[in-house]
Structure formats: C-alpha cells, structure tokens
Amino acid sequence: MQIRAILTIKGDVQEAGYRVIIQKTALKMGFTGNAENLKNGDVKVVCECEEDQLDKFIEAITVRNDFISVENIEKKIEKATGEFESFDIAIGDMAFEMFQGYATAGKYFNWLGQKVDGVGKEVKVVGQKVDVVGQKVDNVGEKVDNLTVHTDDHFNKLDEKYGIVSETLISMNKEQTKTREELTRAVDSLNTLVNSVNILIKEHIEKEK
C-alpha cells in the first residue's frame, strides 16, 4: 500500500550534502517526494512509497560519518496523494541556499586540510624513525670499526703464534664487517621506501585537488 511519510531529521545534518544522499537513496528505492533544509537546522523529507519500504529507507539515510550525524528521525504517516513525479531537493530562498553551499565547501576543505596535515605528520614520524635507525647503524658501525682496529692488532700477534686459530678469528672479524654493511643497505632501502611513499602522497593530494 502506498503511503506518504513526513520525516523530520535532527542532528548535524546540514552543510554536508546530506540532501543529495537522501535524494539518491530515494530514487534508487523508487520513492517520490522531496528533501528540504529547515532554518532550525533540521532536514524535512516528504516522500511517498510502499509502506513496507519506509523503514529500510529510514535505515539507509541514518548516516553518521565525518560530516553528517543523524541523531533522530521523527515520522508522521499520511495517505499518499500521488502529487510527486520524482524525488527532488527542495530549494529555499537563494541567500539561504548560497550560505549553505559556502558552509558545505568550507567544512569539506577544513576536513581535507586536516587529513593532509595528518599525512604530513605521519610521513615526518617515519622520517624520524628512519633517522633513528640510521643513527643506530652508525653507532654499530663505530663499534665494529673500533673492534676491528683492536682485534686486528691481536690477530696479527696471534698469527705469529697460533696460525690456524688466528685465521679463524680474522674470518669472524670479516663477518662482523659484512653485518654492518648489510644493516647499512637495509637503512638505505628504508629511506628509498619513505621517499616513494612521499611521492605517492603528493600524487594523491594533487589528484584530490
């Protein structure tokens, strides 16, 4: 059975493109009617539909995200009149609609700015972590270098007395040097990865613009 529903939607529901979401949902479900911003901050929806579809529609337009927060939907049921041909956005006076448009744009730009700033902070943190890893590798390198200097002296003396034992210890010292080189290469690879992430972030920001 066809009914007419008058919905009063309360919450943070203006200046965020919410009427467009309502319109797209209504058209997809085959509803007719309109959605209108009220000057008290509510959104009013007048729609005609099959009775068993109304609750699904209300559930679909109960939106909560970064821009919209539906707190409550009051409904009033009447007899359908068949006066609507489609589902439209009801336009108020031009000054009110222009203010709504500017406010909506401002809200989205502010959100985008916060997201970009957050990305920048995350990249900066990654850079700091890479620097810390680099410092640790440098410290390891210094210790290995010092160890190399001291052990080389001892190995030379041992070589005179112990032959094969000395060769084994020198081989171990070379392995330590190899480990330091591998750590350095790992840090270089991490730096390359961070640079690649920075490039991808910049490309994403440019596309969003």
Residues forming the active site: 19, 37
CB 179 within 8 A of CB 146: no
Q: Are 87 and 28 in contact (CB under 8 A)?
A: no
Q: CA-to-CA distance for 208 and 202, rounded, in angstroms? A: 10
As a whole number of angstroms, the distance between CA 80 and CA 5 comes to 8
Residue 4 identity (one-letter amino acid): R
How far apart are alpha carbons 175 and 12 in whole angstroms?
A: 64
Instruction: Work out whether strand 32-37 and strand 87-90 pair parallel, antiparallel, or are unpaired.
Output: parallel
Separation in Å, CA 120 to CA 50, 106, 113, 114, 132? 50, 21, 11, 10, 18
The dihedral formed by the CA atoms of 133, 139, 141 and 145, expressed in degrees to the nearest 10: 180
Give the CA count within 13 Å in the CB-facing half-sphere of 104: 16
